[in-house]
Structure 1
């Protein structure tokens, strides 16, 4: 085929492909790392495993606190410079983790990774996609989030392999080099030079206002849902075993959740042109309490698989909704600021959920944790339903 007949990928395709890779590397080398290296870290640093696992929690808290003020920066300057700086901080943070000598230096390194995450993980990538994709943003975001569902599947084995060959310190430093040599150049090369609809000399206009009731409902709905999914993940194997399953069966059913989550993301991506973001988001929110009812009513392996299917599919769809619903709720000019502000309650709920669920699990038992998840999932459903009603009132006004 003559070279001149080759059609270069569009800017949107290039950006989504690059960001899919950088998000895999970014999340896989930071938040998911201690799931594999945690025991070795604890042994060498003289720390308890819970304190080692507090590193990712500290990362999420710092991400939450840094996300809100970044909203105006995204709106004025776009995602590119923020993500480049985030990549630099990510490489630095991983180097500091790899060189840590005790609890203080270890947790400070994770705080640096929190600053990096606020600049390069999830919300910044979604903002970068909307800057380039325009009215095709929902489908482009679906591809990005679909790829993100493979993070632990790819990086847990890779982390284990590197740790076995080199040790956890060298593995962490290698991941830092990967962020520096892959993520940073891609963020610099393929992202939009400035936000869509602006020019290099344009003075930013007065910020588009964000409707507070809609923002509050969206924040409550997504934060409540995130609290369930991030906290409930810690109890699921114990809950399966408490219902009478063997350890092997409980592990198999829990593993099926990950497959169902990826299938849910794929389902939303393939059906995105047929259904509105509100329809899929509400359906997913309704499936969460339904899945818990299934688990309450059955103690068989088949029932556990049914729960895993419903719960996992709902989790996959709602992951896409977190990125796409703000496109429907807020003006396009306010998407970056609204998304950055939404990241604050989301990341705080993600950070708080594991210790809260762990405390309830140890003090009141697995079924208390299950009932808590059921109740909070109803709060999430109610908030998203209220938001849907508000949107309907606005369209009919």
Structure 2
């Protein structure tokens, strides 16, 4: 008589925690897809029709976008500190709800100053509800063993945001006008509110989210000081800032550039929408490569490919095949920085102050995000061509690749300002066992 094999059964608490983690990641993945589509990517398609209605230049309208991003930069560190102390449920719910109201207001603007006010509000709503807040929640709510897959899942799903919302917004504008298009986007944005309200919880097992335990949170202050004294932190800041400038300039101006080279607006919006799907492919490719190479090496290599693609684009962009090929080359690195930055920060520094450190790093990145589209618009106006814009984008990608490659592996910077006993592992970041 054979004895049946007894299968190990996971504890109920582990199963419950797994379900909660899955629910959290799934909810944030959907909310980020929606939020980036409505509050960020749609602007590129709305740029020209809004400028035409307001009887102003695209540069002036781009300035409203700049004001939005600057607002996000000003709020990055305060938002990070709030997240470290209180968690993200209230903040992310309020931010997504504010996004709905601001989109409704945007649909009714008739003057440039009204547009600027709305975009400033959208900057605040984005700081409270988009990636930086979501990453902090995921890192706080997951263990090291589950964190990499959670971040990858979140960014892979949200990577389709531009693929969905750029063509959708283009179709809405073409068939119903820009005001109705924004009203539809506001209705979609409303779906993010309950996702944040019910899925984001205060992580009970992370003391840095508990403001009552100040005795344990004080060492995190030392982690911030240690990070700011680390040369690698500033190399990461330089690399990701330069890359943000390149990515943002292309995001805002790619549709207009393709149209200027003779492509129909619908084609231009569709090709630009490929960036989202390509960002997903790039993240998956990066994950595979990191099984054999360090995160910094893979990231720098991808940024170098982007530099080559951006340099080629103005010379082959008038041809349909050339435009698609160059956009594919650039798009493969479109989302790599999004996942590489939190991974490198979590590997290198004390995660008890992750949100604060991320907020500090986001400030120069957000300033670049604000300035790059406006600078690109000014450069295009002066040159009468997008060629110098794309050459500058290529230079930024090359600089970011060099800076990231120069960041050497190190021991984790501990909470008291020195290395911890655990070695920083560059091979376990994106799904590879640590």
Which residue, out of 145, 157, 161, partners 2:155? 145
Between the two proteins, the alignment pairs up a number of residues equal to 386
Alignment correspondent of 1:354: 373
Mark the CA change 1:178 to 1:345 in structure 2 (over 3 Å): closer, same or farther. Answer: same
Alignment correspondent of 1:339: 358
Is the CA contact (8 Å cut-off) linking 1:218 and 1:383 kept in structure 2? yes
Mark the CA change 1:195 to 1:103 in structure 2 (over 3 Å): closer, same or farther. Answer: farther
Which residue, out of 277, 288, 294, partners 2:295? 277
Q: 1:60-97 CA distances to partner (integer Å, 9 max, x unpaired)?
A: 11111111222211111122222122123222322321
Which residue, out of 125, 133, 149, partners 1:116? 125
- RMSD value over aligned CA atoms? 3.5
Rounded Cα–Cα distance in structure 2 between residues aligned with 1:265 and 1:146: 7
2:224 equivalent to 1:202: no
Mark the CA change 1:280 to 1:139 in structure 2 (over 3 Å): closer, same or farther. Answer: farther
Gapped runs of 5+ residues in structure 2?
1-14, 414-418, 425-434
Which residue, out of 380, 383, 387, partners 2:403? 383
- Bigger helix share: 1
Mark the CA change 1:310 to 1:172 in structure 2 (over 3 Å): closer, same or farther. Answer: closer
Gapped runs of 5+ residues in structure 1?
1-6
**C-alpha displacement of 1:152:** 2.2
Which residue, out of 14, 35, 56, partners 1:26? 35
2:280 equivalent to 1:262: yes
TM-score by length of 1: 0.82
Matches within 5 A, 1:1-397: 10-135=19-144, 136-160=146-170, 162=172, 167-180=177-190, 182-194=191-203, 196-198=205-207, 201-203=212-214, 205-206=217-218, 207-210=221-224, 211-212=227-228, 213-233=231-251, 247=263, 259-269=277-287, 275-292=293-310, 306-364=325-383, 365-388=385-408
Is the CA contact (8 Å cut-off) linking 2:73 and 2:366 kept in structure 1? yes
Is the CA contact (8 Å cut-off) linking 2:160 and 2:277 kept in structure 1? no
Greater Cα shift, 160-169 or 138-147: 160-169
TM-score by length of 2: 0.76
Rounded Cα–Cα distance in structure 2 between residues aligned with 1:45 and 1:305: 32
**C-alpha displacement of 1:114:** 0.8
Mark the CA change 1:80 to 1:287 in structure 2 (over 3 Å): closer, same or farther. Answer: same
Alignment correspondent of 1:3: none
**C-alpha displacement of 1:223:** 0.5
**C-alpha displacement of 1:324:** 2.0
Mark the CA change 1:341 to 1:392 in structure 2 (over 3 Å): closer, same or farther. Answer: closer
Rounded Cα–Cα distance in structure 1 between residues aligned with 2:277 and 2:400: 23
Rounded Cα–Cα distance in structure 1 between residues aligned with 2:369 and 2:71: 12
**C-alpha displacement of 1:44:** 4.4
Rounded Cα–Cα distance in structure 2 between residues aligned with 1:390 and 1:297: 41
